[in-house]
Chain A
Amino acid sequence: GAGVSQSPSNKVTEKGKDVELRCDPISGHTALYWYRQSLGQGLEFLIYFQGNSAPDKSGLPSDRFSAERTGGSVSTLTIQRTQQEDSAVYLCASSPQMGNQPQHFGDGTRLSIL
């Protein structure tokens, strides 16, 4: 498909475990964004990539969160030592370049921490 793909679509794990969420952006899109959406809420900006570089990581909620992007394509969001408050839907979006561009979203990963 030509859209943004996220995997897994659902993830249930125990508190304290590490999780890895994956995002495949639209081919050729240089900008990639991660957001978190709690139930019935708006989107919380986490981090963005321009190519493989993440100029601003201040949106990440804690040092348990990290993200990387390789080859200007796939991105991985890793949460270490998960806590129950990490339960949310994690959305990824991409756009052809930074700024003034519509973002194309995946359907998200629904993360549940038991």
Chain B
Amino acid sequence: SQQGEEDPQALSIQEGENATMNCSYKTSINNLQWYRQNSGRGLVHLILIRSNEREKHSGRLRVTLDTSKKSSSLLITASRAADTASYFCATDHIGGFNKFYFGSGTKLNVKP
């Protein structure tokens, strides 16, 4: 499968702590995106990192990409209870004809 895989599957932290989620994939990519999904809702785009980028920031989010290891990480700093959600990485692969592959997600629980 070309799907990305998130790690860990579930993460529980206290409000104010940092949360780190990882994503691994198998084949060369054009770009990698991170999304969040609240229960019962659609996905919301967080950040896109291109294959020639190594790090990107957006507010409390920091994404890194290591194409040599075929992996990415999402760091949420100073977490809040409202960050509780599932987080997914999505990749579109070179030669993949615009197909997007999503992992099974990391379920983050931020306890107030």
A residues in contact (CB < 8 Å) with B: 4, 31, 33, 35, 41-43, 45, 48, 50, 55-56, 59, 91, 93, 98-100, 102-108
Contact = CB atoms under 8 A, between A and B. Distances in A.
A77 B15 CA distance: 41
A42 B105 contact: yes
Given A56-B99, A102-B45, A41 B104 contact: yes
A15 B109 CA distance: 36
A45 B100 contact: yes
Interface of B is mostly: strand
Contacts of B97: 55-56
Interface of A is mostly: loop
Interface in B49-94: 50, 88, 90, 92
Nearest to B97: A56
Given A56-B97, A93-B43, 19 more contacts: A31-B98, A42-B88, A42-B102, A43-B88, A43-B90, A45-B100, A45-B101, A48-B98, A48-B99, A55-B98, A56-B99, A98-B98, A103-B43, A103-B100, A105-B43, A106-B42, A107-B40, A107-B41, A107-B42
Interface residues of B, number: 25
Nearest to B48: A102
